[in-house]
Amino acid sequence: MGTVATPVVELDAVTKRYGAVEAVRGISLRIVAGEVVAMLGPNGAGKTTSVGLMLGLRVPTSGAVRLFGLPPTDRRARSRAGVMLQESGTTSVLTPREIVRLFGTYYPAPMPPEQALALAGLTDKADARIGTLSGGQRQRLYLALAVCGNPDVLFLDEPTVGMDVEARRAFATSIQTLAAAGKTVLFTTHYLREAEELARRIVVIDRGVVIADASPRELMGRVAAKRVAFTAVGAVPSGAFAGLPVAALENANGHVRFLTGEPEAVLRALFARGVELRDLEVVGANLEEAFLSLTRREEPA
Amino acid sequence: MSAVAPVLPMLLAQTRSELVTRWRVPAFSVTSLALPILFYTFFALPFARQTFPNGVSVGAYLLASFAAYAVGSVMVYGFGINVAIERAQKVDVLMRATPVPPGVVITAKVIGALVFSLFSVILLILYGVVVAGVRQDLSVWVDVTARLLVGSLPFVTLGFAIGYGSGPNAAPALANIIYLPLSFASGLFMPVSQLPGFVQRMAPYLPSYHYGQLAWSAVGAPTEPIGVSLAWLAGYTALFLAIAVRAYRREETRKFG
């Protein structure tokens, strides 16, 4: 047995509080070299804060953060990381080629600017002013800036926001290329489909805690939810759903909808509690609904 | 392979980007290169070939004044507006996540501003010599330029104070409302002796007045001892630096706490 390799990223019982808001409520996570990890969760789940903590952009309230075994603010650690942040900007009067060349000088062994631009699919806009780029092209520029230093790990916060379908596909190809080259990749998204397609590991975050950490296949098995809808005949007795494994429950004038992994058991209980219904529909939930059922399962009734 | 990139190429590339960026923003490049020449044309050209009773050339005296105005404006507007905009665009957040040391970025900004100031002063002096027919030894102009670049620190720190203390919309207004009256009241647009009485009494307390002294003494005008000028400039540097650091720290806590 050799020595255990230092993890690329290590969070140990990390919390982060902004005033009264606890954005991260105790996350422990290890990411090792070569992993492609999606951090999945709804808006406000704590994804951006988690990435900020990993990069040393934010100081944890408690707990420890390590990047390549070093404090994330250490230049040696940062020199091995490429970063694409949400809503960060660049000077608009430079061209992509100029700024990629500039960022290359920050790193000890950068790739040629042309290679970074090609990898991000921005070659044809390399000499345009950044101010004239579309939202999707700007995202590609940020990807080029993230890879130009030839980093060992890439942190991509909501990388596909603002991209159209074609740009998303190009982005997926870029990520696969990087993963094939042995890079460690961590990206955040609120699309389950994107996480499932690109990552080999999905960490689901909700309200500042990790609620699932599994391979896409495992996770899909766990969230195989059904959408149930019916019209109640007469009033639904209060407490009819008490203790039942349902999520996203709605009752609009007797038109009842909810998500559940066990439709038969739920319906049996409802009948037993005196609920009368018609127009029953049970369909497979789509991915977003399935994800919703996973993240909201623990919500108190 | 070394674990981190060497600093010197990084600094050179960063400085180059600063200069290119400044050059390509007309609001900045036109203001700092053309405005001093325009002001010199209005305020000084008609009297450029006259001399003061003490024998000092009016054209040279006002060229020194507007050179001081030009360098100060590059610093105040450059840092004030540029830093405020970068903060608003969150350029600072992205830079912060890269391995570039913050000192490299700030040093590049200062070098870029000094180079731009140098351009601005050279253009202005060329204009004065060629168009206005002002005659002085080359060594005088070199002396004026060197003194103004070295003495510009209070305006660098004033720029940073505006850039970190205000937003992208407020910064240009704030820079104007501070810098223009300051220049006027310090005798950079016309000699202090020709200003209204209450302004004359105020002038000796202003940083631009003592900055102007550095340039005026280089063209032979009687001025306060250079030590006094430098002491005032050092004091204002410390004051503006304290304000800038305070604003910077407040932002640090909010953005990166």
Q: Specify if B200 maps to a domain.
A: yes
Tokens of B98: 């890269």
- Give B103 to chain A, closest Cα distance, Å: 13
Q: What is the pLDDT of residue A301?
A: 37
Parts of chain A with a pLDDT under 70: 1-4, 221-224, 285-301
Tell which A residues from 144 to 173 touch B, by Cβ distance under 8 Å: 145, 149, 155
Structural domain tally of chain B?
A: 1
- A99 Cα to chain B: minimum distance (Å): 8
Contact A94 B20 (CB under 8 A): yes
Partners of A232 in beta bridges: A277
Q: In this predicted model, what pLDDT tens digit does every residue of B187-228 receive, in sequence order?
A: 999 999 999 999 999 999 999 999 999 999 999 988 889 999
In a domain, B158, yes or no: yes
Element (H, E) at A187: strand A184-189
Residue B2 placed within a domain:
no
Token couple for B131: 């168009």
Residue A239 tokens read as 């407490």
CB atoms within 10 A of CB A179: 18
pLDDT per position as a tens digit, A25-80: 999 999 999 999 999 988 888 999 999 999 999 999 999 999 999 999 999 999 99
- Please report whether residue B1 resides in a domain: no
Residue B219 is predicted with a pLDDT of 93
Cβ contact, residue pair A75, B21, below 8 Å = no
- CA-nearest residue to B91 within chain A is A89
User: Do A123 and A91 meet the contact criterion of CB atoms below 8 Å apart?
Assistant: no
Of the partner residues A55, A101, A109, the one whose CB lies closest to the CB of residue B97:
A55
Residue A158: left if φ>0, alpha if ψ -120 to 50, beta else—which one?
left
Instruction: Tell me the C-alpha distance between A36 and A181, whole Å.
Output: 12
User: Residue A188: helix, strand or coil by DSSP?
Assistant: strand
Rounded to whole angstroms, the Cα distance separating A48 from B110 reads 33
CATH architecture for the domain at A224-295: 2-Layer Sandwich (3.30)
pLDDT at B72: 96
Of the candidates B177, B166, B207, which has an alpha carbon nearest to the alpha carbon of residue B80? B166
pLDDT at residue A216, rounded to an integer:
83
CB atoms within 10 A of CB B104: 19
pLDDT at res. A13: 94
Domain ranges in chain A are 9-221, 224-295
d(CA A40, CA A54): 16
C-alpha B252/C-alpha B257 separation (Å) is 6
Element at A66 (helix H, strand E): strand A62-67
Q: How far is A143 from chain B (nearest CA, A)?
A: 12
Q: Yes or no: say if A89 and B94 are a contact pair by the CB < 8 Å rule.
A: yes
ipTM of the complex: 0.88
Query: Do residue B14 and residue A102 have CB atoms under 8 angstroms apart?
Result: yes
Tell me if chain A has a CB within 8 Å of the CB of B130: no
Domain A9-221 has CATH 3.40.50.300: yes
Mean pLDDT of B30-45: 92
CA distances from B55 to A22, B16, B58, B59, B219 (A): 72, 43, 9, 12, 11
pLDDT in tens, A106-133: 999 999 999 999 999 899 999 999 999 9
- Tell which of A58, A106, A130, A145 to mutate to test the B interface (max B CBs under 10 Å): A106
pLDDT of residue A4: 65
What's the token pair of residue B35?
A: 């405005």
Q: Does B46 touch chain A (CB under 8 A)?
A: no
Q: Please give the residue range of the domain that contains residue B27.
A: 7-256
Residue B11: strand, helix, or coil: helix
Residue B26 lies in a domain: yes
